[in-house]
Amino acid sequence: MTHKARSFIATLQVNGCPVNTFDSMTRGQVVLESPLASPAHALDGASALGMLNCSDEDWQHGQDLGLITFERAAAPAPLLLYFRHSDEGYRLYIRSGPHFGQGVFVTEEGLVAVKPIEQKDPTLWSVIAAATGEHLDVITTETDEIDISLVSTDNPLGLQSLFPVGGYAMCHAAADRCTLRLAIEQRDVDWYRSA
């Protein structure tokens, strides 16, 4: 089978909440804690991937405590990700919204964030089917919604809590593997095509 046959466009969710970039879901400066540094230091989290799953009361509580530095925006359209297959695994590219054409990278601080593609290809990922623990074979998978986890160079993608409003994606050796719901929108997608 060709790489094209194994490439697809999909969205991701965590516990029913869509994964998107924080600058698409919020207004104002997004400050997140570095997941790798101890003590943690503040990072610009605008382009980090994450999710918001809170009530209005939780949002107000987080702001009252000074834990949340930004405002919630209107819910954006789901973030479309192009999973481009290669012999080594998958690289993820953005196929919707203001970050269209950019890639998904693990930063030096351990954040999973979206950035323009320059001299380096986006981070390489293994897509693991949660039910089997094996690499996902999109060709033999008939359903379009599958629970998965993502692993990069043996480091799992995890979710750092952003109490009390949601969480943001991180990837490092000590991260607890996060189960994601993969919803395939389009299969057999060429590199140059969008949904």
Residue 159 lies in a domain: yes
Residue 194 lies in a domain: no
CATH number for the domain that contains residue 153: 2.80.10.50
Give the structural domain span for 176. 3-187
Residue type, 50: G
* SS3 at position 109: coil
Total tally of structural domains belonging to the chain: 1
Residues 107 and 172: their CA atoms lie apart, in Å, by 10
Residue 193 lies in a domain: no
78's CB contacts (< 8 A; 6+ apart) are 11, 18, 20, 96
Residue 195 lies in a domain: no
User: Cβ atoms within 10 A of the Cβ of 97, count?
Assistant: 17
Question: Tens-of-pLDDT digits for all 195 residues of the chain?
Answer: 689 999 999 999 999 999 999 999 999 999 999 988 788 889 999 999 999 987 888 888 888 888 888 888 988 999 999 999 999 999 999 999 999 999 999 999 999 999 999 889 999 999 999 999 999 999 999 999 999 999 999 999 999 999 889 999 999 999 999 999 999 999 999 876 444
pTM of the full structure: 0.93
Residue 63 lies in a domain: yes
Residue 9 lies in a domain: yes
- Determine contact, residues 126/135, Cβ cutoff 8 Å: yes
